[in-house]
Structures are given as structure tokens and as C-alpha cells.
């Protein structure tokens, strides 16, 4: 089964189960922005679908994001750095069937783009801009209001 994650990119094996919940809403009814009136608005984007779009629209850019292995890290606490066991690409493919396996996409966790490989850093950034553009398309967004007492969970294998 495929898995995807944009959380915990700095772990070798990102979280297997994530759960999000809301205890209560803050009443912001006086605010003009209807999207924030209740608080707790959540946005989901299907990364696997976005990867299919990238592969269809720009196969060369897909190849870059699936080929360039990057350092990932978490270093928010003084004296502590967490990093996976090796470098990983943004788009991880199952090597046996060439299908999407995992997505690592979090600029706050990403290290520097390596020089000297098959692709240059400028080529990687071109691919990253296209990837980000696809992720931000309005038709890719799924907005919903998480209600107190409900849990949004994501099981990742």
C-alpha cells in the first residue's frame, strides 16, 4: 500500500498514524473573513494525485523530484537534530513497480540541494516551483471544518 507524508520528513520512516482533533472553536463571528469565523479550518491536498499531474504535465520535472536525494532534518530544539538514515527524494517511488510510495515535502525540514549530481540545483528548483504550483491549484484544495469531537486520521503504511 502506498503511503504519503509531508509531516516528519526528517524520520527514516515517517509516522504511521496521524490524528488531528479539535476541542472547541473560538467565536470569531465579528471577522469579515468567513473562512476563519469558526477557526479550525483545515486544508488537505492529495499529494499522490498532484504527483500524477506533475508526471503527466512535466515528466522531466517529475524525474528530477524523484531522483535527487536530499538531506532532511529537524533542529528546532537547542542541541538536538533529527535526520533520516540517508538522503531521500521529494517523490519516493516503489522500485519494483515504479509507483508512488511516499512524498516528503516540507521546506522547513529540507536541507540544501546537492551540487554535482545528474541535475543542477537550478533544475531542482524549477521542478520544485512546478510541484508547488500544482499543490496550490484551487481545484487541488479540499477545505473542511473540523468539528469538536470528530477526529481526522490518516493511516500511513
Taking only the tens place, the pLDDT of each residue in 85-95 is 888 899 999 88
The Cβ of residue 85 has, within 10 Å, a number of other Cβ atoms equal to 8
Please tell me the total count of domains within the chain.
Answer: 1
Q: How high is the pLDDT of residue 156?
A: 52
Flag whether 120 is in a domain.
yes
State the average pLDDT over residues 30-35: 55
pLDDT in tens, 102-152: 898 887 778 888 888 899 999 999 999 999 999 999 999 988 888 888 887
Beta 100-103 vs 91-93: how paired, if at all? antiparallel
Domain contains 88:
yes
Confidence bin at 19 (pLDDT 50/70/90): confident
The pLDDT assigned to 125 comes to: 94
pLDDT, tens only, 34-56 = 555 555 577 888 899 999 999 99
Residue 54 lies in a domain: yes
Whether 34 maps to a domain, the answer reads no
CATH number at residue 151: 3.60.130.10
Q: Are 14 and 77 in contact (CB under 8 A)?
A: no
In a domain, 68, yes or no: yes
What confidence category does residue 27 fall into, taking pLDDT thresholds of 50, 70 and 90?
A: low
Residue-number span of the structural domain to which 68 is assigned: 46-155
Which residues fall within 8 angstroms of residue 61, CB to CB, at 6 or more apart? Answer: 54, 126, 127, 130, 131
105-98-55-116 Cα dihedral, nearest 10 degrees: 60
Amino acid at each position: 500500500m502506498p503511503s504519503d507524508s509531508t509531516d516528519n520528513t526528517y524520520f527514516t520512516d515517517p509516522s504511521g498514524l496521524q490524528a488531528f482533533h479539535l476541542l472547541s472553536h473560538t467565536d470569531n463571528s465579528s471577522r469579515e473573513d468567513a473562512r476563519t469565523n469558526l477557526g479550525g479550518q483545515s486544508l488537505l491536498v492529495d499529494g499522490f494525485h498532484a504527483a500524477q499531474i506533475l508526471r503527466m504535465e512535466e515528466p522531466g520535472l517529475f524525474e528530477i523530484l524523484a531522483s535527487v536525494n536530499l538531506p532532511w532534518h529537524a533542529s528546532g530544539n537547542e542541541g538536538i537534530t533529527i535526520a533520516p538514515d540517508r538522503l531521500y527524494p521529494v517523490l519516493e517511488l516503489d522500485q519494483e513497480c515504479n509507483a508512488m510510495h511516499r512524498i516528503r515535502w516540507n521546506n522547513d525540514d529540507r536541507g540544501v540541494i546537492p551540487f554535482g549530481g545528474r541535475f543542477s540545483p537550478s533544475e531542482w528548483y524549477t521542478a520544485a516551483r512546478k510541484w508547488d504550483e500544482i499543490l496550490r491549484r484551487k481545484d487541488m484544495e479540499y477545505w473542511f471544518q473540523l468539528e469538536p469531537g470528530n477526529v481526522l486520521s490518516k493511516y500511513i503504511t
